[in-house]
A and B are shown apart, each in its own frame.
Chain A
């Protein structure tokens, strides 16, 4: 059959960009189609006045230092991405403003991190050391699963990585309790749970531990010129390798023949390809791009059994004073009234009373990100989209202001830093904003919620066998084997492209 492209990638989010670049680097003829006029999905930027804001990235994991590159740095180097990255100086500051008052700064470097934790929580030494021993092995396996989910199976893991096989898929709270870790130490460790959005009694140990080890050991990184720089560099890498990117272009349906996907419809054009990679939730493909009778029953059941992930609420602030003048020294500050993750999770389902937030100050890690004498802050809260279901258009502007004011005030009260008088620019993103630009159902930014059977370990170990729900159709992005996040999406895109490439090579043989 005549084809226009070897691979068509739908959606230029992080997963789609990585898929397109990978396929092009593997010498396939690639077309990347994106509905918006910018690449990256949430990995973008926007300007207000003299500020350029980072919409979504907090910390890029898996990048790592030059002498010990992580998966993502290796991928960027292979793809020829020339972007300056800054290591985030500290791990995080955590503040509990409720009855269990706590305010602690956690450094990077495993030894420093352990020392700080053990000093803060007397009697925690044995459990903290035991935790890191298991966590480091889990992180190694995690990195392998991330890069090559098809290469591992339960039997191999049980013999080669017994600590992973034993602990990896257990809820991490259960593992920490089994290690007799004091409650306060557990609380200090769990800051990053929100990056995946699964409460501690369900969030599998391997993912949680790997995030912590990755950030603490290799540091997190951010790009010099916001995520839009990474996304632009990936588009350029695609073009440099003979690929094509079309923006403001929407795929209206998948073309099929004899039960297999053979191309896409764009306007009145039909474009045929050997392989199609969708950086979309399978829900979207099955409800909008394929007729119902083409959706395999197992896929329909799987989509129905899954739950949508969370969306976000962000307040972006361009301040007319420097971070130093304002007394801000922390890149990430996690603030809550209660560090029970179930309590925080419940708050994500309601419009008012969601008291968990993160405040980032970009200048702490990237001093020249804004003009001299200014600074960029952004606050993040997680909300499930359905908490915004009842909002009416005429209430929306006022609601944004009200919630933003609440977030700013709580940050000021928790830290004693005063910012309200210095706001030069402000912008707010809500689930509605994400629904508008990303078009995911309910403004979802985390792909599918990680139910215990639908987290990293289960998705990775079934990634190869669940690939191609219809012949020649692959998925990547937030619905991928690593769940949400930049590094996860880049990994899932590479995996999808390699699967597609494998099919193309079979074709040649």
Chain B
């Protein structure tokens, strides 16, 4: 125990050090291994099955690709997404796709992504043309916070979904069915007509197996018996609102969110009871109310963007109506990104010079980042020539 004098304390220190073992130090620790299992830096995946739902929607079944080092899939919470990295014609892009399968399926090393083809899109047509059984896919760990938290959320969740925005709620419905999640779920699901309801039959199947999942189809372009017609308005919501407190989760295009948010004001829900995820669907920055005034009918300007990575720079074009992340991806720069909605912060980069526009409504930057000149490149649009210091990854996996 304690020593009488400081000299003796130091002798004691030497004695303890000298008595230390010479066995090799551990290189693995269980808590770090659990962290790596839950949050792997990269998941190398392989497509095992492709299901065609209709001309515009397919499900891709993914398994780990042990030849590249992924032995098992990371567990996740229903509502989370994978950021998938794809190289298309020299562009290196990411896209967030919600995991549609139940968390339980990850324990059996299966994820399912259900993807809708966007006709004029850049990535989904590529996926539809190239992803086959056997194709390898590189993805992030599961990410995102559109998940049920019993300490925060009410026990009944009202989900408002449009198009492929249904996928996180499909995972939630599955997790409620198998007992992983303890909640009730009412899904208000907007589609064009009854022929185009993504995962409609599968959702019906779940709601017939459990009375905790209720499905309400809302068709914008068709009257169909038993379905709501029009948009997901306050009236539609009111008709299907369960008794008692609810939390509302919204997932789909930005337009759906803007619309639903307006309709929901009628219900005076306390702050925190409306949650949403943009899923990388931010629109044209020039439509933002706080976009700086520019001459009417002005054509879209293209600026010079200088990108500095560990002291090496290159200059690329950057359009005013596209994020600087997109500009970097077009140039083949492996810029980090994940949620593509301004939220997760993975794409944080330092502005060395120049002006960028960040729409206030979706600005989730840290306060100090605003002061010290950092942007989330996925939601930053050039207003002048710019220089950015971008932390492109140079990582090894230190703790395996």
Verify A401–B149 contact, CB threshold 8 A: yes
Verify A232–B368 contact, CB threshold 8 A: yes
- Interface check A48, CB cutoff 8 A: yes
Chain B residues with CB under 8 A of A37:
336, 345-346, 348, 391
Verify A246–B17 contact, CB threshold 8 A: no
Chain A residues with CB under 8 A of B32:
435, 439, 441-443
Verify B151–A401 contact, CB threshold 8 A: yes
Determine, out of A107-115, A182-190, A208-216, A391-399, the stretch whose residues face the partner at the interface. A391-399
Q: Given A249-B394, A432-B38, are A232 and B30 neighbors across the interface (CB < 8 Å)?
A: no
Chain B residues with CB under 8 A of A226:
366-368
- Interface check B119, CB cutoff 8 A: no
Chain A residues with CB under 8 A of B186:
none
Chain A residues with CB under 8 A of B365:
47
Verify B151–A408 contact, CB threshold 8 A: yes
Give the interface SS of chain A, mostly helix, strand, loop or mixed.
Answer: helix
Chain B residues with CB under 8 A of A329:
none
Bound-state Cα–Cα, A344 to B367, Å: 36
Closest chain B residue to A165, Cβ basis: B6
Chain A residues with CB under 8 A of B18:
298, 301
Q: Given A233-B372, A451-B16, A452-B2, are A385 and B29 neighbors across the interface (CB < 8 Å)?
A: yes
Closest chain B residue to A284, Cβ basis: B398
- Interface check B121, CB cutoff 8 A: no
Bound-state Cα–Cα, A426 to B145, Å: 10
Q: How far is the CB of B7 from chain A (nearest CB, A)?
A: 5
Verify A300–B6 contact, CB threshold 8 A: no
Bound-state Cα–Cα, A45 to B399, Å: 24
Closest chain B residue to A427, Cβ basis: B145
Verify B20–A303 contact, CB threshold 8 A: yes
Closest chain A residue to B309, Cβ basis: A246
- Interface check A470, CB cutoff 8 A: no
- Interface check A122, CB cutoff 8 A: no
* A residues adjacent to B (C-beta < 8 A): 35, 37-38, 45-50, 52, 154, 157-158, 165, 168-171, 174, 202, 204, 225-226, 228-229, 232-233, 235-236, 244, 246-250, 252, 266-267, 283-284, 286-288, 292, 297-298, 300-306, 311, 318, 320, 374, 385-386, 388-391, 393-394, 396-397, 401, 404-405, 408, 420, 423-426, 431-433, 435-436, 439, 441-443, 451-454, 457-458, 461-462
Some 24 contacts from A to B, beta carbons below 8 A apart, are: A37-B345, A47-B366, A157-B6, A158-B6, A225-B368, A226-B366, A228-B366, A229-B368, A249-B391, A249-B395, A250-B394, A267-B394, A284-B398, A304-B21, A304-B22, A304-B25, A318-B272, A385-B30, A405-B151, A432-B35, A443-B31, A453-B12, A453-B15, A458-B12
Q: Which 8 A-B pairs have the closest CB atoms?
A: A424-B272, A301-B20, A305-B20, A154-B6, A247-B391, A248-B391, A393-B75, A229-B368
* B residues adjacent to A (C-beta < 8 A): 1-3, 5-7, 9-10, 12-13, 15-27, 29-32, 34-35, 37-39, 74-75, 77, 103, 107, 145, 149-152, 270-272, 310-311, 336, 345-346, 348, 364-369, 371-372, 374, 391-396, 398-399
